[in-house]
């Protein structure tokens, strides 16, 4: 059946609101209207009209920003001493200041006290005063971009923009430790405010500052919530909301009773954990995690995975196509049934209203979930479709009244950074919903972010599957934020600069979609695999890479466990798929997993390894900034059938060599000597490729 009571903001109402705002432009907003707007005291209708007016009127927008900076309604937050005391009180009351363990940071440092800003995000009552304090502290700073580190600061920054800094156009999230991962590039010429949670020495702030400056932007402000530096003379420009003394040591922290139990801060999940030493592998997760196995069985049936997917400005390095999953006849109904069962089993009654974002995947989830709830409980929830523009939900009054006093569940196909969920849940709460929950098919949120949503929603947060891979926002002028696009651009630049045939062919393969990395989007209907082994034998190479990336991200988020890949030595799996498993791993994966993954990679460099697998292992080492693959090249080239080298074999080796030597020019002579010895031992079928590597080395040396 087709639901008939779906609500959304129609074009006619939007035009009426716009015309009303245009009529008001001549008279401007009054001082009382501006004060009510910036203090969040305006009625929903007045707030919507003010939004439209401020977009068109620079004079009123400037007046609103001056009112925000004056902050007359903050009262107790006016004094810096009072603000600091208030922030400390908030951190203490929500349990953010933790002690009693030996806390190990990603840098290896040990500290005696941990500040968990994730706990602030468990409630609007604790996070909103921090947002106000950040805005007050930055009152005299003008900026149009914000760079944050960690999802709690990104959450604070989004609320800062929604409430006080509407002229900020760019939010950039960084995460991880080594390497830092950025959600998007820093716009050239931007004025950037850097926001961090805790500063122990200032190394992180310095790295973020360097990122801004390298992008051709300027740093307008640097702010940390907690300043724990012993020496504050190094960076006197760093602003802070409060100071908390934290003892830092390179050796374990010792308490009165001896050494304390360790807790490691996981920069991936952004929480504390007891570090696991047992490795993870794709087949192990197939056997032990039923949700992992079920997700990939359904992805296999629907053919719903891409190595690199572009959706507008959002780029995904590892993308599960929820739209294809939901529309496929063998997977769509089963997925929605499972999500509905999860929701219904954990609530006293079905929701009254489903709220979905105005995009096809969100509407698809909402309509099918609504039908399933009706089929199961004989209750038909209403469905409200909401548009989001510039971080604000736009909801007509008729739909707003529909939410008042009702049980509301926000639905979506996937959650990446949590912005859409946060906006829609906040909108439902402000509209007077009796209860608000969230249900999604696939979550890419950090574990601690999911915990915060559960706390804010009184436990009403449900997700079917967990696929914790990051997404990136990419501008046409700067593809560097997306790792795949960054490599593609680097290969094209290197090929144009050096002009070598192997490099030009490799660059052309990315543009045409040919070569080893091409994949067919269409998948014939097929039955689900019977096991993990069956999956790897029957799946496409892109899915073999996807399941490996999922295994790595799951291991990193689950106790910082290492990844191991015994599957790459399994001769029953096609070499192309084993190569794809190694190709899917991002830079830093080898360093993270240590000896477990190192052993798997070194085994792939043996002379008996298939050429594709050997090349993928060499590329992985190159992504880690290593050149030791060259010591195994002679053995690989000496194998019988070496004239059947993979397409672009030499293109990749030339690129890897150039990249390494450009970063390490002091090693040019050593690498050249090794390649010359290799050239002397090889026959004419491969000597042309070795010659191109040597020619590339000469050109790098001249460039240096």
SS3 320: strand
Give the span between the Cα atoms of 8 and 115, in whole angstroms.
Answer: 42
Strand ranges of the sheet holding 271-273, from the earlier edge strand across to the other edge: 248-249, 110-115, 97-104, 262-266, 271-273
Give the span between the Cα atoms of 380 and 366, in whole angstroms.
Answer: 12
Give the span between the Cα atoms of 401 and 296, in whole angstroms.
Answer: 41
Annotate 667-693 with DSSP letters as a single string: GHHHHHHHHHHHHHHS-HHHHHHHHHH
Crossing angle (nearest 10°) for helices 151-163 and 124-137: 70
Q: What's the number of CA atoms in the CB half-sphere (13 Å) around residue 470?
A: 24
Q: What is the pLDDT of residue 437?
A: 95
Question: 535 is written with which tokens?
Answer: 């999956």
Cβ(395)–Cβ(404) below 8 Å: no
SS3 349: coil
In 3D space, the residue among 40, 24, 29 whose CA is nearest the CA of residue 74 turns out to be 40
Give the span between the Cα atoms of 72 and 68, in whole angstroms.
Answer: 8
Q: Cα-flanking dihedrals φ and ψ of residue 346, to 5°?
A: -110, 15
Topology at the third CATH level for domain 314-472 = Rossmann fold (3.40.50)
Question: 686 is written with which tokens?
Answer: 């491969």
Q: Model-level pTM? A: 0.82
- Checking DSSP bridges between strand 239-243 and strand 218-227, what pairing results, if any? parallel
Q: Cα-flanking dihedrals φ and ψ of residue 492, to 5°?
A: -65, -40
Buried b (16+ CB within 10 A) or exposed e, 448-487: bbbbbbbbbbeebbbbbbbbbbbbbbbeeebbbbbbbbbb
Question: 325 is written with which tokens?
Answer: 């999953």
Give the span between the Cα atoms of 153 and 165, in whole angstroms.
Answer: 15
Question: 173 is written with which tokens?
Answer: 């999230």
Give the span between the Cα atoms of 83 and 184, in whole angstroms.
Answer: 32
- Where is 529: in which H helix or E strand? none
Annotate 253-315 with DSSP letters as a single string: -EETTEEPPEEEEETTTTEEEPPP-S-B-HHHHHHH-HHHHHHHHHHHHHT-EEEEEEETTEE
Give the span between the Cα atoms of 614 and 625, in whole angstroms.
Answer: 17
Q: How far is CA 380 from the centre of its chain?
A: 35
Question: 359 is written with which tokens?
Answer: 């995009």
Q: What is the pLDDT of residue 20?
A: 45
In 3D space, the residue among 55, 14, 543, 661 whose CA is nearest the CA of residue 301 turns out to be 543
CATH number of the domain located at residue range(s) 75-273 in this protein: 3.40.50.2020
- CA distances for 300 relative to 325, 543, 556, 598, 704, angstroms: 10, 8, 24, 29, 48
Q: Cα-flanking dihedrals φ and ψ of residue 441, to 5°?
A: -80, -55
Cβ(159)–Cβ(128) below 8 Å: yes
SS3 46: helix
Q: Using 70 as the pLDDT threshold, list the residues of the chain that sit under it.
A: 1-27, 35, 37-41, 44, 47-48, 51-52, 54-56, 58, 61-82, 233-235, 390, 475-478, 512-525, 640-643, 704
Give the span between the Cα atoms of 657 and 638, in whole angstroms.
Answer: 20
Q: What is the pLDDT of residue 8?
A: 33
Listed in order, the ranges of the chain carrying CATH 3.40.50.2020 are 75-273, 314-472
- Checking DSSP bridges between strand 180-182 and strand 170-176, what pairing results, if any? antiparallel
Residue 687, judged by CB atoms within 10 A of its CB (0-12, 13-18, 19+), counts as middle
Give the span between the Cα atoms of 329 and 180, in whole angstroms.
Answer: 41
Give the span between the Cα atoms of 119 and 226, in whole angstroms.
Answer: 14
Cβ(558)–Cβ(327) below 8 Å: no
């Amino acid at each position: 059946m087709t639901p008939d009571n779906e609500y959304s903001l129609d074009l006619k109402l939007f035009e009426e609101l716009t015309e009303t705002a245009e009529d008001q432009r001549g008279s401007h907003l009054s001082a009382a209207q501006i004060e009510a707007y910036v203090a969040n005291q305006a009625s929903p209708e007045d707030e919507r009209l003010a939004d439209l007016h401020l977009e068109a009127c620079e004079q009123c927008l400037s007046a609103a920003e001056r009112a925000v900076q004056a902050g007359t309604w903050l009262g107790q937050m006016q004094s810096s001493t009072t603000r600091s005391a208030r922030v400390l009180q908030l951190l203490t009351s929500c349990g953010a200041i933790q002690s009693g363990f030996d806390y190990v940071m990603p840098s290896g440092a040990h500290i005696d006290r941990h500040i968990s800003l994730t706990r602030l995000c468990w409630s609007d009552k604790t996070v909103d005063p921090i947002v106000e304090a950040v805005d007050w502290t930055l009152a005299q700073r003008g900026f149009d971009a914000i760079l944050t580190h960690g999802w709690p600061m990104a959450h604070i920054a989004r609320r800062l923009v929604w409430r006080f800094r509407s002229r900020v156009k760019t939010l950039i999230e960084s995460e991880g430790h080594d390497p830092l991962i950025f959600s998007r590039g820093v716009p050239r010429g931007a004025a950037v405010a850097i926001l961090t949670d805790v500063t122990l020495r200032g190394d992180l702030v310095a790295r973020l500052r360097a990122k801004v400056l390298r992008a051709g932007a300027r740093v307008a402000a640097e702010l940390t919530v907690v300043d724990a530096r012993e020496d504050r003379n190094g960076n006197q420009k760093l602003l802070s909301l409060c100071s908390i003394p934290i003892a830092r040591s390179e050796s374990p922290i010792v308490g009165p009773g001896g050494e304390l139990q360790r807790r490691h801060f996981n920069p991936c999940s952004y929480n504390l954990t007891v570090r696991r030493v047992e490795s993870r592998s794709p087949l192990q997760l197939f056997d032990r995690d039923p949700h992992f196995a079920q997700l990939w069985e359904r992805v296999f049936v629907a053919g719903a995975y891409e190595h690199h997917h572009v959706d507008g400005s959002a780029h995904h390095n590892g993308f599960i196509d929820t739209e294809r999953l939901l529309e496929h006849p063998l997977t769509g109904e089963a997925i929605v049934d499972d999500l509905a069962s999860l929701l219904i089993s954990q609530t006293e009654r079905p929701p009254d209203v489903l709220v979905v974002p105005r995009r096809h995947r969100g509407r698809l989830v909402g309509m099918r979930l609504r039908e399933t709830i009706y089929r199961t409980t004989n209750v038909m929830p209403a469905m409200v479709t909401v548009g989001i523009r510039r971080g604000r939900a736009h909801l007509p009054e008729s739909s707003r009244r529909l939410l008042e006093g009702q049980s509301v569940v926000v639905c979506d196909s996937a959650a990446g950074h949590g912005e859409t969920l946060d906006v829609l849940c906040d909108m439902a709460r402000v509209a007077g919903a009796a209860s608000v929950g969230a249900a999604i098919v696939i979550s890419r949120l950090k574990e601690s972010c999911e915990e915060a949503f559960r706390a804010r929603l009184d436990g009403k947060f449900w997700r079917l599957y967990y696929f914790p891979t990051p997404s990136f926002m990419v501008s046409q002028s700067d593809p560097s934020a997306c790792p795949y696009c960054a490599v593609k651009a680097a290969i094209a630049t290197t090929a144009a600069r050096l002009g070598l045939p192997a490099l030009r062919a490799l660059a052309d393969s990315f543009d045409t979609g040919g070569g080893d990395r091409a994949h067919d989007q269409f998948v014939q209907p097929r039955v689900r695999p019977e096991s993990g082994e069956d999956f790897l034998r029957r799946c496409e190479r892109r899915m073999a890479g996807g399941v490996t990336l999922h295994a790595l991200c799951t291991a990193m988020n689950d106790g910082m466990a290492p990844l191991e890949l015994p599957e790459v030595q399994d001769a029953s799996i096609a070499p192309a798929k084993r190569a794809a498993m190694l190709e899917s791993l991002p830079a830093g994966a080898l360093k993270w997993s240590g000896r477990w993954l190192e052993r798997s990679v070194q085994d792939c460099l043996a002379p008996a390894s298939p050429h594709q697998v050997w090349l993928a292992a060499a590329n992985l080492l190159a992504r880690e900034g290593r050149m030791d693959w060259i010591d195994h090249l002679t053995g690989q080239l000496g194998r019988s059938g070496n004239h059947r080298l993979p397409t672009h074999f030499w293109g990749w080796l030339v690129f890897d060599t150039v990249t390494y030597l450009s970063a390490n020019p002091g090693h040019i002579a050593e690498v050249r000597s090794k390649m010359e010895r290799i050239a002397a031992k090889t026959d004419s079928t491969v000597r042309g490729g070795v010659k191109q590597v040597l020619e590339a080395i000469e050109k790098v040396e001249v460039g240096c």
